[in-house]
Amino acid sequence: MFSLTPPVELDHAKSYGDIFTLVKKAVKRSLELHRVGLMLYLGNLPIRVGAFHPMGTNEIVLNRRLLGSTKSLKEKSQVFAILVHEYLHTLGFSDERQVRRLTYKVCSENFGKSHPAVEAALTGPWTDLTEEDFESIEPELNLELVRDFERIDSGYII
Ligand SMILES: [Zn+2]
């Protein structure tokens, strides 16, 4: 059934919102899961951390120091893999090893095994912050909301 759909086109994505649209498409194809209502921020996280999802919120914070650009395919691939990982957390998966395994599955099924997104899914960085860590670095975070992150399908307007 999926073989009729073209592969996810990351090369043409220009913004975080473009990449996230592809993340949702890829997770839907591989795992048949979907949710809406997420917000993305850029923030200055510690260098070993790719992103952070405070449990129970609808927020994802990407590390501006590592993922502050979406120009090259390598950068897009890293953002893609990190967003798949955090998106799976927002879908309720809390076991870190399971989330990494599913991130690899989503990336390899949608791009093929030699794509840089698969490499990014294998290498991380996957260090998770605790809520306490996050609170302690809050003064330096310099959070910036990414506008137009989530495009809601037409017909969903409230
Ligand atoms: Zn994680």
Q: What is the pLDDT of residues 3-26, one digit of tens each?
A: 445 556 899 999 999 999 999 999
Cα of 74 from ligand 1 centre, angstroms: 20
Please check whether residue 158 lies inside any domain of the structure.
no
Please check whether residue 96 lies inside any domain of the structure.
yes
Cα of 71 from ligand 1 centre, angstroms: 24
| Domain span at 122 | 2-7+14-145
Q: What one-character-per-residue DSSP string does 4-50 give? A: GSPPP--TT--SHHHHHHHHHHHHHHHH-------EEEEE---TTB-
pLDDT in tens, 90-143: 999 999 999 999 999 999 999 999 999 999 999 988 887 888 888 888 889 999
pLDDT interval class at 80 (50, 70, 90): very high
The pairing of beta strand 59-63 with beta strand 39-43: parallel
Task: Report the domain count for the chain.
Answer: 1
Enclosing H/E stretch for 154: none
Take residue 45 and report the two structure tokens written for it: 């996280």
Partner residues linked to 59 by β-bridges: 39
Please check whether residue 127 lies inside any domain of the structure.
yes
**Cβ distance 86 to 53 under 8 Å?**
yes
Here the CATH number for the domain that contains residue 70 is: 3.30.2010
Report the pLDDT value the prediction gives residue 3, as an integer from 0 to 100: 45
Cα of 125 from ligand 1 centre, angstroms: 9
- Alpha carbon of 49 to those of 19, 27, 84, 126, 149: distances in Å? 20, 22, 15, 6, 21
Q: Does the pLDDT of residue 27 top 80, yes or no?
A: yes
